[in-house]
Amino acid sequence: MYLLPHTILNAANRYPDKEAFRFGDTALTYTELVNQSHQLAHCLLELGVQRGDRIGIYLNRCLETAVAVYGIMSAGAAFVPLDPYAPPARTQFVIQDCGIEHVISNKNQEKNLKKILTQNLDVKSVISPFGVNWGEGFLAFCASLNIRTFTQRNLQELSHTKPDTRTLEDDLAYIMYTSGTTGTPKGIMHTHRSGLAYAKLSADLYDVQPTDRLGNHAALHFDISTMGYFTMPYANGTTVIVPDIHTKLPASMAQLIEKEQLTIWYSVPLALTQLLQSGIVESRDFSAIRWVLYGGEPFPVKHLRALIKAMPNARFSNVYGPAEVNQCTYYNFSKLSEKYTTIPLGKVWGNTEILIHNENDEAVKTNETGELLVRSATQMKGYWGRPDLTEKGFYKRQRIDGCEEIFYRTGDLVKMCEQGNLHFLGRKDRQVKIRGYRVELDEVEAVLIAHEAIGEAAVFALKNEDEAHIKAVVKLKKDIEASTLKSYLSKRLSSYAVPNDIKFVQKIPRTSAEKIDYKILRRDAINRVSTA
Amino acid sequence: MTNTITTYIEKEILNSPDTQLTDQDDLLGSGLVDSMGLMRIIAFIEEEFGIAVPPTDMVIEHFMNIEAISNYVLKRQTIDG
C-alpha cells in the first residue's frame, strides 16, 4: 500500500459491502466507492487529465466528496478542495493560481458556480458524480462559456477498472489552500506518501478498528478532514460526514452523534463547546464514543472539564500540527486534575523529529522558549508555485553528506518541560486562529490598506476566554461608512477573517521605530471594553 | 411575519441582492445561509418578535426554511406570551 487510493481497494477486498462513507440517509460501500471513483477517474483521463494535474472539488459536506477525492487521485491527479462559502474572488484566485481546468461539483452549487466561472478562468468542465441532470439555466450558462458538463449518467457508462497512471508515492495527491502573509492564499502540497503516513500514524495511535465510526465535522478544505477521508479507509472503518446543517445547529448535532453511534469524534474545540451549550448533552447517550480528538486551536479548560463529565467513556486527544505537517504531537488524557490551566501539546508522534530553536537557529534547553521545527513523514512538499515561500519555510541541515534533513519552521513558540511534554506559548508571527481557521492579521491589514478610502490600517486580535476577535483601526483618506468597508472586506476575505469591528481614528499609534504599536492598540481596546 | 423574515434574509443575509426566496427554499442544506448568517437570523427574530430562542430549540426542524421559522416564531410567542 503506497498510494492513498490503495486504502479503499484494500478495504473493498476485505469488506466489500461495508459502509465507507455515510451522509444522512445515504451511504457508499467500499465496493461502490471504488467503482464510482474509478468511473470518475476514467472520465477525467478521457478529458486529457495528466498525472499531477489539479482538479477542484467545489462541494459542501456531502457524499460526493468521497467519490471526488478518490476519483481524482485514482486518475493520478491532485485534488484541491475549494470552500463553497469563500468569497468568489478568493475561489477564482485559487482556481487561477494552481491552474484548475476541471471542477467536481453538484447541483446545489449552481448559484455559486455562476458567480465564480468567468471567461478569465481556464475551467473546461464541471462534473457532478451524483444526480442525472444540471438545471436548464446552468447548462445554458456553461454552454455560453464553452464549459462541458457531466453527470452521473455520463460516468455510469465508463469502466470500473483501476486506471494505470504510473503514479508514485512521492507524486502530488492534494493541495490545501491556507491564509498567506502576503495577502494571497498559499497552496500546501501533499503527496500520497505524506497523506498515507498520516493515515498509518493516526490509525496506530488511536487504534482505529474496522468497527469504528468517525464523525467527520470538518469541511474538506480543512486538514482535520484527512482523518475521515484517509485514516478511516486505511483502517477499513466508516466515516459519517456531518451535514453542514448539523454543524450550525448543535442540538441536531448531538442527536446525530447518538443516532449514528459514533465511536470517534474529531473537530475544532468550538464545535464541542457549542455541543455542550446546546443544553441537551445530558439527555443524549454518548456512551459509544471512545475517542474525542480536537485540534486547530487550544480548548478552554473550563469547557473541556464539562465535556469529560458528559462523555465519561471517552478518551481525549489534543492534536497539534500545522497543515504543512498535518499532525506532529498528541496529548492523550481521560481525566484532568485541578492543576491544569492549559493542555500541553504533548508528545511527538512516530516518524517525526523536532527541534526547538532560538532566533539564531541554535537549540534551546529544556524549559526554554523557542520556535518549533518539525521533520516528519507527514510533511508537505512545499507551497504551490512559491519556491520562495517554500525555501523560507524550511530549515535544512546535512549531518551526513548527501542526506539532507528538511525541517518545517512552524512559527509556533514552544517549550519542552522535564516530563517530555511540549507546551504551546504563542505565534512567532501574527497568525491567529478564529474558530479553528488560520488568519494572518497581516493579510487582513493588506486587504484593508488596498481600499482607496483608507490611509493607514492596523489589525489586531483580542482574546477573551473562549475565542479571539479581530479588530481593525483605520485612518481614512476620504469618508466611507463602516458598513461599506465591511462588505468590501467580506468580498475579499473568508467570513471568519473579517474584523468584528472597525474603528476610525485620526492617528494610529506607532513605536519609535515607526512601527504600528499593537501593544497600545490592544491595551486601549481592552480599556474600552472594561469601561463600556 | 413571513414577509418580514423573507425581506430580512434577502437583504441582510444573502450576498446577492437579486435572489428571491420562496417560503420552502432550503436555507441550510443548500448553503444559502452559513453559520454566522443563522446566528444573525436568530438574533433578528428574537429582537423583532420579542421571543427568546433557547439552545435546545436550535434544531434543523425550526430553521430549514422560512415557513419553518415563521411556524417556530408563532409557537414560541404563545409559550413566551
User: Using one digit for the tens of pLDDT, what is the confidence trace for A190-218?
Assistant: 999 999 999 999 999 999 999 999 999 99
CA distance B29 to chain A (A): 6
Q: Which residues of B touch A280 (CB under 8 A)?
A: 55-56
User: Which is it for strands A19-23 and A238-241: parallel, antiparallel or unpaired?
Assistant: parallel
Residue A266 CA to residue A225 CA, distance in Å, equals 8
Distances A29 to A63, A74, A162, A318 between C-alpha atoms, Å: 11, 17, 17, 31
Choose the mutation target among B58, B63, B64 for the interface with A, i.e. most A CBs under 10 Å.
B58
Note the pLDDT tens digit of each residue in A328-385.
Answer: 999 999 999 888 888 999 999 999 999 999 989 999 999 998 999 999 999 999 999 9
CB contact under 8 A, B55 and A250: yes
From A70's Cα to the closest Cα of chain B, the distance in A is: 24
One-letter-per-residue 3-state SS of A263-280: CEEEECHHHHHHHHHCCC
- pLDDT beyond 60 at A388: yes
- A35, A162 Cβ separation under 8 angstroms: no
B79 touches chain A (CB under 8 A): no
Task: List chain B domain ranges.
Answer: 2-80
Parallel, antiparallel, or unpaired for β A102-104 and A125-127? Answer: parallel
State which amino acid sits at residue A501: D
Q: How confident is the model at residue A436 (pLDDT cuts 50, 70, 90)?
A: confident
Interface contact flag, A490 B15, Cβ < 8 Å: yes
Mean of all residue pLDDT scores within chain A: 92
Task: Give the separation between CA A121 and CA A114, rounded to whole angstroms.
Answer: 12
pLDDT number for residue A298: 79
| Cβ contact B31–A108 (<8 Å) | yes
All domains of chain A in start order, with CATH: 5-241 (3.40.50.12780), 350-427 (2.30.38.10), 431-531 (3.30.300.30)
Show residues of chain B in contact with A112, CB under 8 Å. 31
pLDDT in tens, A61-119: 999 999 999 999 999 999 999 999 888 999 999 999 999 999 999 998 998 999 999 98
**Residues contacting A309, CB < 8 A, separation 6+:** none
A478-506 average pLDDT score: 89
Annotation: CATH topology of B2-80: 1.10.1200
Query: CA-nearest residue of chain B to A83?
Result: B31
Q: Spell out which residues of chain A touch residue B59, defining contact as CB-CB under 8 Å.
A: 249, 251-252, 255
Would you say residue A513 has pLDDT above 60? no
Nearest to A60 by CA among B62, B63, B58, B28: B28
User: Which residues of B are less than 8 Å from A246 in CB distance?
Assistant: 60
Give the whole-angstrom CA distance, residue A470 versus residue A500: 6
Please tell me what DSSP assigns to residue B13: I
- Give me the pLDDT at residue A434, please: 86
Subunit contact B31:A244, Cβ cutoff 8 A = yes
pLDDT of residue A104: 98
Q: How confident is the model over A268-292, as pLDDT tens digits? A: 988 898 888 777 888 889 999 999 9
Q: Are B75 and B50 in contact (CB under 8 A)?
A: no
Closest-CA distance, B20 to chain A, in angstroms, reads 12
Dihedral angle sign, alpha carbons of residues A250, A251, A252, A255: positive
Complex ipTM tops 0.90? no
- What is A216-249 written as a DSSP string? E-S-TTSTTHHIIIIIHHHTT-EEEEPPHHHHH-
Residue A184 confidence (pLDDT) above 70: yes
Q: Give every CB contact of residue A183 below 8 A, 6+ residues apart in sequence.
A: A442, A443, A446, A447, A450
Question: Percentage of residues in chain A with pLDDT exceeding 70?
Answer: 97
Stretch B52-60: mean pLDDT: 87
Q: Is the pLDDT confidence value at A418 over 90?
A: yes
- B 2-41 residues with CB below 8 A of A? 15-16, 19, 28-31, 34-36, 38
Inter-chain CB proximity B63 and A249 less than 8 Å: yes
pLDDT tens for A127-153 read 999 988 899 999 999 999 999 999 999
